[in-house]
Amino acid sequence: MDSSYSSRTTKPLYRGTQIVWYILGLIEVILAFRFLLKLFAANPTAGFSRFIYTISYPFAAPFVNVFGRTQVEGSIFEWTTLLAMLVFGLVAWGIVKLLSMSKTVSTPEAASRMDDKK
């Protein structure tokens, strides 16, 4: 068996990346619901809409004034929600890359990967 697959750090790193992708998935789904509810002019006082707006606001808030909103007869195309989704995706990707960098690598595997980069 290849030593890179039997390392004691491989399983926790794999679990860590699963957790990061799972959390990203939850955030992306919540933000997607927010985007669609605003796009289709959902009633903001309805229970589900209010719930989604409340739980999504902390994720969307840092991006609220970055772009304007496009509004047509009650429908809102919220660019900031799309930006939030993009930024959170990039952050998750970066965290997973950082986690994978801490994986134990054998000397021959490292040499092979360095040769591939040339």
Please indicate whether residue 97 or residue 104 has the higher confidence score (pLDDT). 97
User: Quick one: pLDDT at residue 7?
Assistant: 58
| CB atoms closer than 10 angstroms to residue 85 | 22
pLDDT at 74: 87
Task: Examine the pLDDT at 100 and tell me if it is beyond 90.
Answer: no
Matching residue, tokens 């409340």: 54
| Phi, psi (rounded to 5 degrees) for 29 | -65, -45
CA distances from 114 to 57, 68, 82, 96, 106 (A): 44, 46, 37, 20, 12
* Tens digit of each residue's pLDDT (9 = 90 or more) over 2-60: 444 555 666 788 888 999 999 999 999 999 999 999 999 999 999 999 999 999 999 99
At 75-93, the pLDDT tens digits run 999 999 999 999 999 999 9
Please tell me the predicted confidence (pLDDT) of residue 68. 82
Residue 107 is predicted with a pLDDT of 74
Place 1 in a pLDDT band, splitting at 50, 70 and 90: very low
**pLDDT class for 118, splitting at 50, 70, 90?**
low
